[in-house]
Amino acid sequence: MARRRGSKTARWFGFFFGTPRRFLVTALAVTTLALIHHFSPGTITNVVHGLVGELSPLLNMLFYYGLVFFFLMLGYKLLLKPFFGKK
C-alpha cells in the first residue's frame, strides 16, 4: 500500500474541502453550528452533555465487556501456551 504524500493537515483539508460537494457540506455544517451558537448560546453544550449523559451507560458497558474479553483472551493464551506453543 502506497503512503500518501503531504502533511496530515493537507490530507484533512483535502478530505473536507477536496471536492465542491464536500466543500458545500462542510461550509453548511460550520455555518449551521455558528448560527445556532450565535442565536442560542449554550444550546450545543447542552446537547453534547445530554448525549454523553445518555450514552455513558452504554459506553461504560462496552468498555467493561471489552476489558473482560481482553483479560479472558489473555488468560486463555497464557494458560494454553505451554500445551500448544511452538516447539
* Cα-based angle 78, 82, 87 (whole degrees, multiple of 5): 125
pTM of the model: 0.53
User: Are 19 and 26 spatial neighbours (Cβ–Cβ below 8 Å)?
Assistant: no
Whether the pLDDT of residue 61 is over 80: the answer is yes
pLDDT band at 86 (very low <50, low <70, confident <90, very high): low
**Measured CA distances, 8 to 13, 14, 29 (Å):** 8, 10, 22
Query: Domain coordinates of the chain in residue numbers?
Result: 7-41
Residue 87 pLDDT greater than 60, yes or no: no
Whether the Cβ atoms of residue 56 and residue 64 lie closer than 8 Å to each other: no
Mean pLDDT value across the chain: 88
